Amino acid sequence: MLFLDELGEFAPAVLDGLRQPLEEGVIRLARARASASLPARFLLVAATNPCPCGGGAPGVCECDDGARLRYLRRLSGPLLDRFDLRVGVERPTVDDLLATGGGEPTVVVAQRVAAARRASLDRIGIMPSEIPPSRLDELAPLDPAARVRLREHLESDQLTGRGYHRVRRVARTLADLDGAAELVADEHVVMAMQMRVRLSVSSRVRAA
Amino acid sequence: MSPTTTTDLPAEAYVAALAGFRNMNVHRLSALLRHHPPEQAWAVALGEAPTHGLVARVLSDPYVRASWRTCAGERPPGEVWARCHELGLQVLPYGAPGYPACLLDDPLPPPVLFVRGNLGLLAGRRVAIVGTRNATAGGREASRSIGLGLAAAGVHVVSGLARGIDGCAHQGVLAAEGEGRPIGIVASGLDVVYPREHRDLWQATANCGLLISESPPGTAPEAHRFPLRNRIVAALSEAVVVVESRERGGSLLTAGDAVHRDITVMAVPGPVGRRASAGANALILDGAVPVTCADDVLTFLSFQHGHSAVLAADLRARPKGDDLAVYRELQRDPRTIDGVALVLGLSLVDAAMRLARLEVAGWVAQADGWFECVGSPLR
Protein backbone atom coordinates (compact mmCIF):
# COMPACT_ATOMS: atom_id res chain seq x y z
CA MET A 1 0.00 0.00 0.00
CA LEU A 2 1.35 3.38 -1.00
CA PHE A 3 0.07 6.46 0.80
CA LEU A 4 0.90 9.84 -0.73
CA ASP A 5 0.07 12.73 1.55
CA GLU A 6 -0.30 16.17 -0.05
CA LEU A 7 -0.62 14.71 -3.51
CA GLY A 8 -0.76 18.22 -4.94
CA GLU A 9 2.82 18.92 -3.79
CA PHE A 10 4.43 16.11 -5.80
CA ALA A 11 6.10 16.90 -9.11
CA PRO A 12 3.72 16.12 -11.98
CA ALA A 13 6.29 13.84 -13.64
CA VAL A 14 6.50 11.69 -10.49
CA LEU A 15 2.74 11.35 -10.32
CA ASP A 16 2.36 10.51 -13.97
CA GLY A 17 5.06 7.86 -13.53
CA LEU A 18 2.58 6.03 -11.32
CA ARG A 19 0.05 5.61 -14.07
CA GLN A 20 1.61 2.66 -15.82
CA PRO A 21 2.29 0.52 -12.70
CA LEU A 22 -1.20 1.37 -11.42
CA GLU A 23 -2.73 0.11 -14.61
CA GLU A 24 -0.57 -2.97 -15.22
CA GLY A 25 0.61 -3.99 -11.76
CA VAL A 26 4.25 -4.14 -12.86
CA ILE A 27 7.09 -1.66 -13.11
CA ARG A 28 9.08 -1.89 -16.32
CA LEU A 29 12.67 -0.73 -16.18
CA ALA A 30 14.52 -0.30 -19.42
CA ARG A 31 18.22 0.55 -19.44
CA ALA A 32 20.80 0.41 -22.20
CA ARG A 33 21.71 -3.23 -21.77
CA ALA A 34 18.84 -4.76 -19.91
CA SER A 35 15.24 -4.46 -19.09
CA ALA A 36 13.31 -5.86 -16.18
CA SER A 37 9.75 -6.11 -15.00
CA LEU A 38 9.17 -5.94 -11.29
CA PRO A 39 5.87 -6.87 -9.68
CA ALA A 40 4.09 -3.80 -8.32
CA ARG A 41 0.53 -4.50 -7.35
CA PHE A 42 -0.31 -1.98 -4.72
CA LEU A 43 -3.15 -0.03 -3.23
CA LEU A 44 -2.67 3.70 -3.79
CA VAL A 45 -4.14 6.05 -1.24
CA ALA A 46 -3.59 9.77 -1.59
CA ALA A 47 -4.70 12.87 0.24
CA THR A 48 -4.65 16.43 -1.00
CA ASN A 49 -6.00 19.81 -0.18
CA PRO A 50 -8.21 21.18 -2.95
CA CYS A 51 -6.10 24.37 -3.12
CA PRO A 52 -3.10 26.08 -1.51
CA CYS A 53 -5.10 27.49 1.43
CA GLY A 54 -6.69 24.22 2.40
CA GLY A 55 -10.08 25.06 1.00
CA GLY A 56 -13.40 24.52 2.67
CA ALA A 57 -16.96 25.12 1.62
CA PRO A 58 -17.60 27.17 -1.52
CA GLY A 59 -17.09 30.86 -0.84
CA VAL A 60 -14.73 30.20 2.07
CA CYS A 61 -11.52 29.44 0.20
CA GLU A 62 -8.83 32.12 0.15
CA CYS A 63 -7.44 31.31 -3.27
CA ASP A 64 -8.37 32.85 -6.56
CA ASP A 65 -9.05 30.57 -9.50
CA GLY A 66 -5.57 31.09 -10.89
CA ALA A 67 -3.96 29.75 -7.70
CA ARG A 68 -6.37 26.81 -7.59
CA LEU A 69 -5.68 26.06 -11.21
CA ARG A 70 -1.90 26.00 -10.72
CA TYR A 71 -2.37 23.71 -7.73
CA LEU A 72 -4.76 21.29 -9.36
CA ARG A 73 -2.92 21.21 -12.67
CA ARG A 74 -0.42 18.89 -11.03
CA LEU A 75 -3.13 16.28 -10.69
CA SER A 76 -3.64 15.32 -14.29
CA GLY A 77 -7.08 14.15 -15.41
CA PRO A 78 -5.76 10.72 -16.41
CA LEU A 79 -4.19 10.24 -12.97
CA LEU A 80 -7.35 11.26 -11.10
CA ASP A 81 -9.33 9.06 -13.42
CA ARG A 82 -7.35 6.04 -12.18
CA PHE A 83 -8.57 6.43 -8.62
CA ASP A 84 -11.56 4.19 -7.98
CA LEU A 85 -12.75 6.33 -5.10
CA ARG A 86 -12.45 10.10 -4.79
CA VAL A 87 -14.07 11.31 -1.62
CA GLY A 88 -14.52 14.85 -0.33
CA VAL A 89 -13.90 15.33 3.38
CA GLU A 90 -15.54 18.13 5.36
CA ARG A 91 -13.35 19.95 7.83
CA PRO A 92 -14.20 18.69 11.33
CA THR A 93 -16.08 21.15 13.52
CA VAL A 94 -15.02 21.92 17.08
CA ASP A 95 -17.77 19.58 18.31
CA ASP A 96 -16.40 16.77 16.15
CA LEU A 97 -12.94 17.27 17.56
CA LEU A 98 -14.13 17.28 21.16
CA ALA A 99 -16.57 14.40 20.72
CA THR A 100 -15.51 11.32 22.65
CA GLY A 101 -17.65 8.67 21.00
CA GLY A 102 -15.47 7.10 18.31
CA GLY A 103 -16.82 5.78 15.03
CA GLU A 104 -17.32 2.19 14.13
CA PRO A 105 -14.43 -0.02 15.37
CA THR A 106 -12.07 -1.21 12.65
CA VAL A 107 -12.64 -4.83 13.67
CA VAL A 108 -16.30 -4.57 12.72
CA VAL A 109 -15.53 -2.94 9.39
CA ALA A 110 -12.87 -5.56 8.67
CA GLN A 111 -15.42 -8.31 9.24
CA ARG A 112 -17.77 -6.69 6.77
CA VAL A 113 -15.00 -6.37 4.20
CA ALA A 114 -13.96 -9.99 4.70
CA ALA A 115 -17.55 -11.11 4.21
CA ALA A 116 -17.84 -9.10 1.00
CA ARG A 117 -14.58 -10.58 -0.30
CA ARG A 118 -15.79 -14.10 0.48
CA ALA A 119 -19.09 -13.39 -1.25
CA SER A 120 -17.31 -12.23 -4.37
CA LEU A 121 -14.96 -15.23 -4.38
CA ASP A 122 -17.88 -17.61 -3.93
CA ARG A 123 -19.83 -16.00 -6.71
CA ILE A 124 -17.28 -15.33 -9.44
CA GLY A 125 -13.94 -16.56 -8.10
CA ILE A 126 -12.22 -13.16 -8.23
CA MET A 127 -12.47 -9.70 -6.65
CA PRO A 128 -14.61 -7.09 -8.40
CA SER A 129 -11.48 -5.00 -8.98
CA GLU A 130 -10.04 -7.84 -11.07
CA ILE A 131 -12.94 -8.16 -13.49
CA PRO A 132 -11.63 -7.35 -16.98
CA PRO A 133 -13.72 -4.84 -18.97
CA SER A 134 -14.78 -7.51 -21.46
CA ARG A 135 -16.39 -9.62 -18.73
CA LEU A 136 -18.16 -6.90 -16.76
CA ASP A 137 -21.56 -7.71 -18.23
CA GLU A 138 -21.10 -11.38 -17.46
CA LEU A 139 -19.64 -11.09 -13.94
CA ALA A 140 -21.20 -7.84 -12.72
CA PRO A 141 -24.51 -7.46 -14.54
CA LEU A 142 -26.57 -4.31 -13.96
CA ASP A 143 -30.27 -4.03 -13.32
CA PRO A 144 -32.15 -1.92 -15.91
CA ALA A 145 -32.33 1.23 -13.76
CA ALA A 146 -28.59 1.09 -13.09
CA ARG A 147 -27.91 0.69 -16.80
CA VAL A 148 -30.00 3.76 -17.64
CA ARG A 149 -28.22 5.75 -14.93
CA LEU A 150 -24.76 4.92 -16.26
CA ARG A 151 -25.81 5.71 -19.81
CA GLU A 152 -26.94 9.17 -18.63
CA HIS A 153 -23.62 9.80 -16.91
CA LEU A 154 -21.69 8.73 -20.00
CA GLU A 155 -23.82 10.85 -22.30
CA SER A 156 -23.44 13.94 -20.13
CA ASP A 157 -19.64 13.51 -20.24
CA GLN A 158 -19.37 13.04 -16.49
CA LEU A 159 -17.71 9.70 -17.02
CA THR A 160 -14.82 8.61 -19.22
CA GLY A 161 -14.48 5.14 -20.70
CA ARG A 162 -11.93 4.17 -18.08
CA GLY A 163 -14.06 5.75 -15.36
CA TYR A 164 -17.02 3.74 -16.57
CA HIS A 165 -15.26 0.42 -15.95
CA ARG A 166 -14.09 1.61 -12.57
CA VAL A 167 -17.55 2.73 -11.52
CA ARG A 168 -18.96 -0.64 -12.47
CA ARG A 169 -16.37 -2.45 -10.36
CA VAL A 170 -16.95 -0.15 -7.40
CA ALA A 171 -20.70 -0.58 -7.76
CA ARG A 172 -20.24 -4.36 -7.78
CA THR A 173 -18.16 -4.06 -4.60
CA LEU A 174 -20.90 -2.00 -2.96
CA ALA A 175 -23.42 -4.65 -3.96
CA ASP A 176 -21.24 -7.28 -2.28
CA LEU A 177 -21.03 -5.19 0.88
CA ASP A 178 -24.79 -4.89 0.69
CA GLY A 179 -25.38 -8.64 0.73
CA ALA A 180 -24.36 -9.80 -2.72
CA ALA A 181 -27.43 -9.27 -4.83
CA GLU A 182 -27.14 -10.96 -8.22
CA LEU A 183 -27.64 -7.69 -10.10
CA VAL A 184 -25.95 -4.38 -9.37
CA ALA A 185 -28.74 -1.99 -8.41
CA ASP A 186 -29.25 1.68 -9.23
CA GLU A 187 -28.34 2.75 -5.69
CA HIS A 188 -24.97 1.03 -5.96
CA VAL A 189 -24.20 2.88 -9.16
CA VAL A 190 -25.34 6.18 -7.62
CA MET A 191 -23.17 5.63 -4.58
CA ALA A 192 -20.20 4.68 -6.76
CA MET A 193 -20.70 7.87 -8.78
CA GLN A 194 -20.96 9.99 -5.64
CA MET A 195 -17.59 8.62 -4.62
CA ARG A 196 -15.98 10.08 -7.74
CA VAL A 197 -15.85 13.69 -6.66
CA ARG A 198 -15.11 16.04 -9.53
CA LEU A 199 -12.02 17.96 -8.56
CA SER A 200 -11.45 20.96 -10.74
CA VAL A 201 -11.40 24.67 -11.08
CA SER A 202 -13.34 24.48 -14.27
CA SER A 203 -16.38 22.98 -12.59
CA ARG A 204 -16.70 26.14 -10.54
CA VAL A 205 -15.84 28.43 -13.35
CA ARG A 206 -18.27 26.75 -15.65
CA ALA A 207 -20.92 26.99 -13.01
CA ALA A 208 -20.20 30.72 -12.75
CA MET B 1 17.34 58.67 -31.50
CA SER B 2 13.94 60.08 -32.17
CA PRO B 3 11.00 57.72 -32.67
CA THR B 4 8.98 58.13 -35.80
CA THR B 5 6.73 61.15 -35.56
CA THR B 6 4.77 61.09 -38.76
CA THR B 7 2.63 64.18 -39.00
CA ASP B 8 -0.40 62.53 -40.61
CA LEU B 9 -1.32 60.67 -37.41
CA PRO B 10 -4.36 61.96 -35.50
CA ALA B 11 -3.87 63.39 -32.03
CA GLU B 12 -5.56 60.33 -30.48
CA ALA B 13 -2.73 58.14 -31.71
CA TYR B 14 -0.26 59.97 -29.44
CA VAL B 15 -2.61 59.75 -26.47
CA ALA B 16 -3.13 56.03 -27.06
CA ALA B 17 0.61 55.40 -27.29
CA LEU B 18 1.36 57.47 -24.17
CA ALA B 19 -1.31 55.59 -22.20
CA GLY B 20 0.50 52.33 -22.95
CA PHE B 21 3.86 53.40 -21.49
CA ARG B 22 5.22 51.45 -18.56
CA ASN B 23 5.08 53.55 -15.38
CA MET B 24 2.49 55.79 -16.95
CA ASN B 25 -0.36 56.49 -14.60
CA VAL B 26 -3.51 58.57 -14.46
CA HIS B 27 -1.79 61.50 -12.75
CA ARG B 28 1.17 61.67 -15.10
CA LEU B 29 -0.91 61.28 -18.23
CA SER B 30 -3.47 63.82 -17.05
CA ALA B 31 -0.74 66.34 -16.24
CA LEU B 32 0.84 65.90 -19.66
CA LEU B 33 -2.40 66.20 -21.58
CA ARG B 34 -3.79 69.08 -19.54
CA HIS B 35 -0.86 71.29 -20.41
CA HIS B 36 0.13 70.10 -23.87
CA PRO B 37 -1.65 69.03 -27.05
CA PRO B 38 -1.10 65.29 -27.65
CA GLU B 39 1.73 65.42 -30.17
CA GLN B 40 3.62 67.92 -28.06
CA ALA B 41 2.88 65.85 -24.92
CA TRP B 42 4.55 62.95 -26.66
CA ALA B 43 7.66 65.00 -27.28
CA VAL B 44 7.63 66.28 -23.68
CA ALA B 45 7.35 62.73 -22.35
CA LEU B 46 10.44 61.79 -24.34
CA GLY B 47 12.30 64.85 -23.13
CA GLU B 48 12.43 66.33 -26.63
CA ALA B 49 10.36 69.41 -25.85
CA PRO B 50 10.33 71.87 -22.94
CA THR B 51 7.53 71.98 -20.43
CA HIS B 52 6.33 74.02 -17.44
CA GLY B 53 7.53 73.56 -13.93
CA LEU B 54 4.35 71.81 -12.75
CA VAL B 55 4.44 69.09 -15.39
CA ALA B 56 8.18 68.77 -14.97
CA ARG B 57 7.70 68.04 -11.27
CA VAL B 58 5.21 65.28 -11.98
CA LEU B 59 7.58 63.78 -14.53
CA SER B 60 10.82 64.28 -12.63
CA ASP B 61 11.73 60.63 -11.97
CA PRO B 62 14.70 59.84 -14.25
CA TYR B 63 14.05 56.10 -14.12
CA VAL B 64 10.51 56.65 -15.39
CA ARG B 65 11.72 58.90 -18.21
CA ALA B 66 14.24 56.28 -19.30
CA SER B 67 11.60 53.56 -19.41
CA TRP B 68 9.36 55.85 -21.46
CA ARG B 69 12.02 56.29 -24.10
CA THR B 70 12.26 52.50 -24.37
CA CYS B 71 8.49 52.17 -24.65
CA ALA B 72 8.34 54.84 -27.34
CA GLY B 73 10.77 52.81 -29.42
CA GLU B 74 8.88 49.56 -28.83
CA ARG B 75 5.39 50.81 -29.61
CA PRO B 76 5.35 54.04 -31.61
CA PRO B 77 2.05 55.93 -32.01
CA GLY B 78 1.60 54.72 -35.58
CA GLU B 79 1.67 51.11 -34.46
CA VAL B 80 -0.68 51.60 -31.49
CA TRP B 81 -3.06 53.55 -33.69
CA ALA B 82 -3.05 50.86 -36.37
CA ARG B 83 -3.88 48.28 -33.71
CA CYS B 84 -6.81 50.35 -32.37
CA HIS B 85 -8.04 50.72 -35.92
CA GLU B 86 -7.72 47.01 -36.61
CA LEU B 87 -9.75 46.19 -33.49
CA GLY B 88 -12.38 48.79 -34.37
CA LEU B 89 -11.82 50.75 -31.15
CA GLN B 90 -12.86 54.30 -30.56
CA VAL B 91 -10.18 56.28 -28.76
CA LEU B 92 -11.64 59.06 -26.62
CA PRO B 93 -9.22 61.40 -24.88
CA TYR B 94 -10.65 63.36 -21.95
CA GLY B 95 -13.10 65.95 -23.21
CA ALA B 96 -13.31 64.61 -26.77
CA PRO B 97 -16.74 64.44 -28.40
CA GLY B 98 -18.40 61.26 -27.14
CA TYR B 99 -16.37 61.17 -23.90
CA PRO B 100 -18.92 60.21 -21.20
CA ALA B 101 -20.35 63.30 -19.56
CA CYS B 102 -20.50 61.62 -16.14
CA LEU B 103 -16.71 61.26 -16.17
CA LEU B 104 -15.97 64.89 -17.08
CA ASP B 105 -16.28 66.10 -13.49
CA ASP B 106 -15.01 62.90 -11.90
CA PRO B 107 -12.40 63.34 -9.13
CA LEU B 108 -10.02 61.12 -11.12
CA PRO B 109 -11.24 61.11 -14.72
CA PRO B 110 -9.61 58.65 -17.13
CA PRO B 111 -7.30 60.67 -19.43
CA VAL B 112 -8.35 58.43 -22.30
CA LEU B 113 -10.89 55.67 -22.93
CA PHE B 114 -10.78 52.81 -25.41
CA VAL B 115 -14.26 51.81 -26.45
CA ARG B 116 -16.06 49.09 -28.39
CA GLY B 117 -19.81 49.08 -28.83
CA ASN B 118 -22.58 51.55 -28.32
CA LEU B 119 -21.65 54.66 -26.31
CA GLY B 120 -25.26 55.80 -26.56
CA LEU B 121 -26.08 53.35 -23.76
CA LEU B 122 -24.52 55.77 -21.27
CA ALA B 123 -27.52 58.04 -21.85
CA GLY B 124 -29.78 55.34 -20.40
CA ARG B 125 -30.27 54.19 -16.83
CA ARG B 126 -27.28 52.34 -15.44
CA VAL B 127 -26.73 50.21 -12.36
CA ALA B 128 -23.49 48.42 -11.49
CA ILE B 129 -23.49 44.86 -10.14
CA VAL B 130 -20.20 43.84 -8.57
CA GLY B 131 -18.91 41.22 -6.18
CA THR B 132 -16.39 38.57 -5.34
CA ARG B 133 -14.84 36.23 -7.88
CA ASN B 134 -15.08 33.52 -5.26
CA ALA B 135 -18.84 33.47 -5.11
CA THR B 136 -21.20 30.88 -3.71
CA ALA B 137 -23.79 29.32 -5.98
CA GLY B 138 -26.43 31.42 -4.21
CA GLY B 139 -24.49 34.61 -4.87
CA ARG B 140 -24.06 33.76 -8.52
CA GLU B 141 -27.75 33.09 -8.82
CA ALA B 142 -28.66 36.38 -7.10
CA SER B 143 -26.32 38.23 -9.42
CA ARG B 144 -27.77 36.57 -12.49
CA SER B 145 -31.34 37.23 -11.45
CA ILE B 146 -30.73 40.89 -10.53
CA GLY B 147 -28.92 41.39 -13.84
CA LEU B 148 -31.80 39.77 -15.68
CA GLY B 149 -34.48 41.75 -13.84
CA LEU B 150 -32.73 45.07 -14.38
CA ALA B 151 -32.12 44.41 -18.07
CA ALA B 152 -35.73 43.34 -18.53
CA ALA B 153 -36.80 46.67 -17.02
CA GLY B 154 -34.54 48.50 -19.47
CA VAL B 155 -31.71 49.30 -17.08
CA HIS B 156 -28.18 48.81 -18.41
CA VAL B 157 -25.89 46.81 -16.15
CA VAL B 158 -22.31 47.97 -15.55
CA SER B 159 -19.82 45.40 -14.33
CA GLY B 160 -16.19 44.34 -14.51
CA LEU B 161 -16.48 41.07 -16.49
CA ALA B 162 -14.54 39.29 -13.75
CA ARG B 163 -15.20 35.72 -12.68
CA GLY B 164 -17.99 35.03 -10.23
CA ILE B 165 -20.52 37.76 -9.48
CA ASP B 166 -19.48 40.09 -12.31
CA GLY B 167 -19.74 37.49 -15.04
CA CYS B 168 -23.07 36.18 -13.74
CA ALA B 169 -24.61 39.64 -13.74
CA HIS B 170 -23.89 40.02 -17.44
CA GLN B 171 -25.02 36.49 -18.19
CA GLY B 172 -28.33 37.49 -16.64
CA VAL B 173 -28.45 40.63 -18.77
CA LEU B 174 -27.80 38.65 -21.94
CA ALA B 175 -30.53 36.17 -21.01
CA ALA B 176 -33.10 38.94 -20.55
CA GLU B 177 -35.54 39.94 -23.21
CA GLY B 178 -35.50 43.64 -22.55
CA GLU B 179 -33.84 46.89 -23.47
CA GLY B 180 -31.12 46.65 -20.82
CA ARG B 181 -27.64 45.99 -22.16
CA PRO B 182 -24.31 44.92 -20.63
CA ILE B 183 -21.66 47.58 -20.07
CA GLY B 184 -18.29 46.01 -19.31
CA ILE B 185 -15.39 47.94 -17.81
CA VAL B 186 -12.16 45.97 -17.98
CA ALA B 187 -8.65 46.45 -16.60
CA SER B 188 -6.67 45.05 -19.51
CA GLY B 189 -6.47 46.15 -23.13
CA LEU B 190 -9.58 45.32 -25.15
CA ASP B 191 -7.67 42.65 -27.07
CA VAL B 192 -6.43 40.92 -23.89
CA VAL B 193 -9.38 38.86 -22.71
CA TYR B 194 -9.19 38.20 -18.99
CA PRO B 195 -10.25 35.83 -17.60
CA ARG B 196 -9.89 33.79 -20.75
CA GLU B 197 -13.00 31.71 -20.13
CA HIS B 198 -15.05 34.90 -20.49
CA ARG B 199 -14.13 35.27 -24.16
CA ASP B 200 -17.70 34.76 -25.32
CA LEU B 201 -19.03 37.12 -22.67
CA TRP B 202 -16.60 39.86 -23.81
CA GLN B 203 -17.62 39.36 -27.37
CA ALA B 204 -21.32 39.47 -26.55
CA THR B 205 -20.82 42.59 -24.42
CA ALA B 206 -19.01 44.38 -27.23
CA ASN B 207 -21.56 43.28 -29.82
CA CYS B 208 -24.79 44.13 -28.06
CA GLY B 209 -23.56 46.48 -25.33
CA LEU B 210 -20.50 48.52 -24.52
CA LEU B 211 -16.96 47.53 -23.61
CA ILE B 212 -14.60 50.13 -22.11
CA SER B 213 -10.99 50.12 -20.99
CA GLU B 214 -8.67 52.84 -19.82
CA SER B 215 -5.71 50.98 -21.27
CA PRO B 216 -4.62 50.63 -24.89
CA PRO B 217 -4.61 47.29 -26.75
CA GLY B 218 -1.93 44.90 -25.56
CA THR B 219 -2.09 45.98 -21.91
CA ALA B 220 -1.84 43.00 -19.55
CA PRO B 221 -4.35 42.61 -16.69
CA GLU B 222 -1.88 43.69 -14.00
CA ALA B 223 -3.13 43.68 -10.43
CA HIS B 224 -2.84 47.45 -9.90
CA ARG B 225 -5.21 48.15 -12.78
CA PHE B 226 -8.23 46.50 -11.15
CA PRO B 227 -8.88 49.04 -8.36
CA LEU B 228 -8.57 51.79 -10.99
CA ARG B 229 -11.04 49.99 -13.20
CA ASN B 230 -13.45 49.85 -10.25
CA ARG B 231 -13.64 53.63 -10.01
CA ILE B 232 -14.91 53.76 -13.61
CA VAL B 233 -17.51 51.10 -12.84
CA ALA B 234 -18.77 53.27 -9.99
CA ALA B 235 -18.53 56.55 -11.88
CA LEU B 236 -20.59 55.29 -14.83
CA SER B 237 -23.45 54.04 -12.63
CA GLU B 238 -26.40 55.55 -10.82
CA ALA B 239 -26.17 52.93 -8.12
CA VAL B 240 -23.74 50.14 -7.24
CA VAL B 241 -25.10 46.79 -6.06
CA VAL B 242 -22.62 44.61 -4.16
CA VAL B 243 -23.90 41.04 -4.33
CA GLU B 244 -21.27 39.13 -2.39
CA SER B 245 -17.99 40.41 -1.07
CA ARG B 246 -15.37 39.29 1.39
CA GLU B 247 -14.54 41.45 4.38
CA ARG B 248 -11.76 43.06 2.32
CA GLY B 249 -12.92 42.37 -1.20
CA GLY B 250 -12.22 44.50 -4.27
CA SER B 251 -15.91 45.25 -4.59
CA LEU B 252 -15.71 47.15 -1.30
CA LEU B 253 -13.26 49.44 -3.08
CA THR B 254 -15.86 49.93 -5.80
CA ALA B 255 -18.40 50.74 -3.08
CA GLY B 256 -15.91 53.22 -1.60
CA ASP B 257 -15.44 54.82 -5.01
CA ALA B 258 -19.22 55.11 -5.29
CA VAL B 259 -19.56 56.77 -1.87
CA HIS B 260 -16.76 59.15 -2.81
CA ARG B 261 -18.79 60.13 -5.88
CA ASP B 262 -22.11 60.38 -4.05
CA ILE B 263 -23.46 57.33 -5.83
CA THR B 264 -25.86 55.06 -3.96
CA VAL B 265 -24.44 51.79 -2.69
CA MET B 266 -26.73 48.76 -2.32
CA ALA B 267 -25.83 45.37 -0.96
CA VAL B 268 -27.39 41.93 -0.95
CA PRO B 269 -27.40 40.63 2.64
CA GLY B 270 -26.09 37.13 3.32
CA PRO B 271 -26.01 34.69 6.24
CA VAL B 272 -24.16 35.90 9.32
CA GLY B 273 -20.73 34.32 9.44
CA ARG B 274 -20.59 33.38 5.77
CA ARG B 275 -17.35 34.74 4.48
CA ALA B 276 -18.58 35.47 0.98
CA SER B 277 -21.16 37.85 2.44
CA ALA B 278 -19.08 39.47 5.18
CA GLY B 279 -18.30 42.55 3.06
CA ALA B 280 -21.87 43.00 1.82
CA ASN B 281 -23.24 42.72 5.37
CA ALA B 282 -20.68 45.25 6.61
CA LEU B 283 -21.79 47.68 3.88
CA ILE B 284 -25.39 47.40 5.08
CA LEU B 285 -24.24 48.13 8.60
CA ASP B 286 -22.54 51.23 7.21
CA GLY B 287 -25.77 52.39 5.63
CA ALA B 288 -25.89 50.73 2.23
CA VAL B 289 -29.39 49.98 0.97
CA PRO B 290 -30.22 46.31 1.48
CA VAL B 291 -31.65 44.70 -1.66
CA THR B 292 -32.53 41.10 -2.43
CA CYS B 293 -33.85 41.23 -5.99
CA ALA B 294 -34.06 43.40 -9.08
CA ASP B 295 -37.41 44.83 -7.96
CA ASP B 296 -35.81 46.26 -4.82
CA VAL B 297 -33.25 48.07 -6.94
CA LEU B 298 -35.90 49.29 -9.37
CA THR B 299 -38.08 50.54 -6.54
CA PHE B 300 -35.17 52.53 -5.25
CA LEU B 301 -34.61 54.02 -8.70
CA SER B 302 -38.34 54.94 -8.65
CA PHE B 303 -38.95 52.83 -11.67
CA GLN B 304 -42.40 52.06 -12.95
CA HIS B 305 -42.25 48.36 -13.34
CA GLY B 306 -44.73 45.56 -13.68
CA HIS B 307 -44.37 42.36 -11.75
CA SER B 308 -41.45 40.27 -12.82
CA ALA B 309 -43.20 38.66 -15.75
CA VAL B 310 -39.73 38.19 -17.21
CA LEU B 311 -38.92 35.23 -15.00
CA ALA B 312 -39.44 32.13 -17.06
CA ALA B 313 -41.50 29.36 -15.49
CA ASP B 314 -39.30 26.88 -13.65
CA LEU B 315 -39.52 23.63 -15.56
CA ARG B 316 -37.64 21.54 -13.01
CA ALA B 317 -39.66 18.89 -11.22
CA ARG B 318 -40.21 20.05 -7.65
CA PRO B 319 -38.30 17.99 -5.12
CA LYS B 320 -40.65 15.88 -3.02
CA GLY B 321 -40.70 14.84 0.63
CA ASP B 322 -37.32 13.52 1.62
CA ASP B 323 -35.47 15.24 -1.20
CA LEU B 324 -36.95 18.56 -0.15
CA ALA B 325 -35.38 18.22 3.30
CA VAL B 326 -31.96 17.76 1.68
CA TYR B 327 -32.56 20.74 -0.60
CA ARG B 328 -33.56 22.96 2.34
CA GLU B 329 -30.45 21.93 4.23
CA LEU B 330 -28.26 22.80 1.23
CA GLN B 331 -30.00 26.16 0.98
CA ARG B 332 -28.65 26.92 4.43
CA ASP B 333 -25.10 25.76 3.73
CA PRO B 334 -23.11 23.89 1.12
CA ARG B 335 -22.46 20.31 2.32
CA THR B 336 -20.50 17.24 1.37
CA ILE B 337 -22.36 13.97 1.08
CA ASP B 338 -21.09 13.02 4.56
CA GLY B 339 -22.38 16.31 5.90
CA VAL B 340 -25.83 15.73 4.42
CA ALA B 341 -25.96 12.21 5.88
CA LEU B 342 -24.81 13.38 9.32
CA VAL B 343 -26.98 16.47 9.63
CA LEU B 344 -30.16 14.75 8.45
CA GLY B 345 -29.39 11.41 10.09
CA LEU B 346 -29.47 9.47 6.81
CA SER B 347 -27.48 6.51 5.63
CA LEU B 348 -24.82 7.35 3.06
CA VAL B 349 -26.68 5.51 0.33
CA ASP B 350 -29.90 7.30 1.17
CA ALA B 351 -28.10 10.65 1.07
CA ALA B 352 -26.46 9.68 -2.23
CA MET B 353 -29.79 8.75 -3.82
CA ARG B 354 -31.48 11.97 -2.74
CA LEU B 355 -28.56 14.09 -3.92
CA ALA B 356 -28.51 12.23 -7.23
CA ARG B 357 -32.22 12.90 -7.75
CA LEU B 358 -31.76 16.60 -6.94
CA GLU B 359 -28.72 16.78 -9.21
CA VAL B 360 -30.48 15.13 -12.13
CA ALA B 361 -33.46 17.46 -11.72
CA GLY B 362 -31.11 20.45 -11.73
CA TRP B 363 -31.65 21.68 -8.17
CA VAL B 364 -28.15 21.05 -6.86
CA ALA B 365 -24.68 20.70 -8.32
CA GLN B 366 -21.48 19.24 -6.99
CA ALA B 367 -17.96 20.60 -7.30
CA ASP B 368 -14.94 19.40 -5.32
CA GLY B 369 -17.26 17.19 -3.31
CA TRP B 370 -19.46 20.08 -2.17
CA PHE B 371 -23.13 20.19 -3.03
CA GLU B 372 -24.80 23.56 -3.51
CA CYS B 373 -28.23 24.69 -4.61
CA VAL B 374 -28.20 26.05 -8.15
CA GLY B 375 -30.68 27.86 -10.35
CA SER B 376 -33.43 30.09 -9.04
CA PRO B 377 -34.30 29.06 -5.50
CA LEU B 378 -37.30 26.85 -4.86
CA ARG B 379 -40.17 28.94 -3.53
Domains of chain A, each with CATH number or no CATH: 2-83 (3.40.50.300), 106-194 (no CATH)
Domains annotated on chain B, with CATH: 1-86 (no CATH), 116-300 (3.40.50.450), 321-373 (1.10.10.10)
pLDDT of A94 above 80? no
CB contact under 8 A, A208 and B140: yes
Task: Give me the pLDDT at residue B60, please.
Answer: 84
Rounded to an integer, the average pLDDT of B102-126 is 93
Contacts of B244 in chain A (CB under 8 A): 59
* Single-letter residue type at B69: R
pLDDT of B198 above 90? yes
Banded pLDDT at A153 (limits 50, 70, 90):
confident
Q: Say if B131 is an interface residue toward chain A (CB within 8 Å).
A: no
Contacts of A87 in chain B (CB under 8 A): 369
Rounded to an integer, the average pLDDT of A69-82 is 79
The residue of chain B nearest to residue A192, with distances taken between CA atoms, is B352
pLDDT of B307 above 50? no
Which residues is B126 bridged to in the sheet? B156
pLDDT of A92 above 90? no
Nearest to A57 among B133, B365, B370 (CB): B370
What digits encode the pLDDT tens for the residues B216-275?
999 999 999 999 999 999 999 999 999 999 988 889 999 999 999 999 999 999 988 888
Nearest to B356 among A65, A190, A199 (CB): A190
What digits encode the pLDDT tens for the residues A49-63?
877 777 777 777 777
**In Å, how far from its chain's centre is CA A159?**
13
